[in-house]
Structure 1
Amino acid sequence: MKKVFVVEDERPIARLLQVYLERDGFEVLCHTGVKDVLDVFRSWKPDLVLLDLMLEETHGMEILQQIRQDGSCPVIIVTARGAVPDRLEGFQLGADDYIAKPFDPEEVVARVQAVLRRSAYFAESEVIRLGSLTVDYSSQTAIMGYEQLPLIPRDWQLLAFLARHPNQRFSREQLLDCVWGRDFEGGDRSVDAAVKRLRKSLQDWPAKEGEIATAKGMGYCLCVR
């Protein structure tokens, strides 16, 4: 049974999400405050986090940053702040999806299922070696030499997809469909943000082995030499 951690300070909304998620077979833990939220997250080890941005004592982005530093748990932001700049900030910090309030709880459940499916798709028993870069699908990790790269889930999924299709060009729209999913509403600038983060993570990858190149007028390509 997959575990969903709901961080929402409005109790009626937290309870509504819990009812719909549990009805769909998820194990749900609701946290309606900010105090100890990261301690609960680390001890309970959820499969996915539903995170409200507008918490009373802090900004949810700070919690998102801490979760990202801790590991690769997928995070879906649920908030009344649905403006484009807010969405972009969330995606740049590594959010996997963004749902604006008011929402249909059945849509939230569908988004949770979609994000978990995408995560499971990349959890395959396979290793791809690209020079000094190793992409391990069973552990969902990327290793440069002997050091594991600190990739957030979305960046890992993008690298995992590109590593399966080396030297192939993909438009932003194709990457959105294949990596983010057709139900994603963040726009193609989310692709650019993820590529920027991924390039930074791969900055020690020797140019003679490969790079993520910009395909002019197309999108991006993992070029392997």
Structure 2
Amino acid sequence: MKTILIVEDEETISRVLAVYLKHAGYEVVQAFDGSEGLRSFTELQPDLVLLDVMLPAMDGWEVLKEIREVNSCPVIMLTALGDIDYKLKGLNQGADDYIPKPFIGEEVVARVNAVLRRSTHVLDTESTKQFGSLKINMDSHVVTVNGEKVILTPKDLSLLMFLAERPNRTFTREDLIENVWGMDYDGSDRAVDLSVKRIRQALLDWSSTQGEIRTLRGLGYQFSVYEK
């Protein structure tokens, strides 16, 4: 059972949220000011945080900043402030979603479900690697993002699978040619650059928020996953 931490100083709102989330099958923990919320987060390591912006002791922006320094746990901001600047501030500081008050309980549950589905937490099974919304079945060679199949050439698929099996490790072009194209390859190393470019284009819906194939100047390429 996944645990949701609600950090909200208005007890009525917190209680209503807790009822809806418990009904949806989540375990719920409540905190009523920023400092208490941060302590609860550190102790419990919840699966998602519903975080109000206007909190006593420590406001939501400060709590979000502290969380993001150590963890990529999904955070949804709650606030009565409807200005677009506040929404952008939250998203730019690392929030995963933003729900203005007043809100409907069912909407909050739906947003929680959606954010958890695209969480960057990595799930490995015997044949499948999952990085947030990106799934790579290593047996069937099927790649999906948000449930939609991604079409790749055989060589691009081989390159993606090689890198995804070794996240956050850096490989030179020569390494990739040797391991993906083979030692007998006699073409240009530009093939690696072009393959990476095509993969990035195919994974745009994933790479914008959850990870990327990074170019490390002078070093090579890395399948980089945003850490929890």
What is the 5 A alignment of 1:167-178? 167-168=197-198, 170=201, 175=204, 178=205
**8 Å CA contact retained: 1:61, 1:90:** yes
List, as ranges, runs of 4+ consecutive aligned residues in structure 1 with deviation greater than 3 Å.
124-130, 134-137
1:70 aligned onto 2:70: yes
1:143 alignment partner, one of 153, 159, 168:
168
| Worse-superposed segment, 75-84 or 43-52 | 75-84
**CA gap 1:136/1:30 in 2 versus in 1, 3 angstroms:** farther
Find the aligned partners of 2:68 and 2:104 in 1 and give their Cα distance.
Answer: 27
Which consecutive unaligned segments of at least 5 residues does structure 2 have?
131-135, 137-157, 171-194, 223-228
CA distance in 2, matches of 1:6, 1:67: 14
Q: Name 2:10's counterpart in structure 1.
A: 10
Matching residue's letter, 2:168? I
Question: Any conservation in 2 of the 1:118–1:179 contact (CA below 8 Å)?
Answer: no
Q: Residues 90 and 144 (structure 1 numbering): CA distance in 2 closer, same or farther, change over 3 Å? A: farther
Question: Partners in 1 of 2:218 and 2:104 — Cα distance?
Answer: 47
User: Percent identity, aligned pairs only?
Assistant: 41
- 1:100 deviation in Å? 0.6
User: Unpaired runs of 5+ in structure 1?
Assistant: 146-164, 181-190, 212-225
Identify the residue that residue 185 of structure 2 maps to in structure 1. Answer: none
Residue 97 of structure 1 aligns with an amino acid whose one-letter code is D
What secondary structure is seen at the aligned counterpart in 2 of 1:143? Answer: coil
Does residue 206 of the first structure (1) align with residue 217 of the second (2)? Answer: yes
3-state SS, counterpart of residue 102 of structure 1: coil
Q: Distance in 1 between matches of 2:65 and 2:104?
A: 27
TM-score by length of 1: 0.62
Instruction: Provide the alpha-carbon RMSD of the alignment.
Output: 3.7
Give the Cα–Cα distance (whole angstroms) in 2 for the partners of residues 87 and 29 of structure 1. Answer: 25
1:58: how far off? 2.7
Cα gap change, 1:17 to 1:83, in 2 (>3 Å) = same
Q: Aligned-pair distance for 1:22?
A: 0.1
- Computing the radius of gyration from Cα coordinates, the structure with the larger value is 2
Q: Is the 8 A contact 1:4 1:29 kept in 2?
A: yes
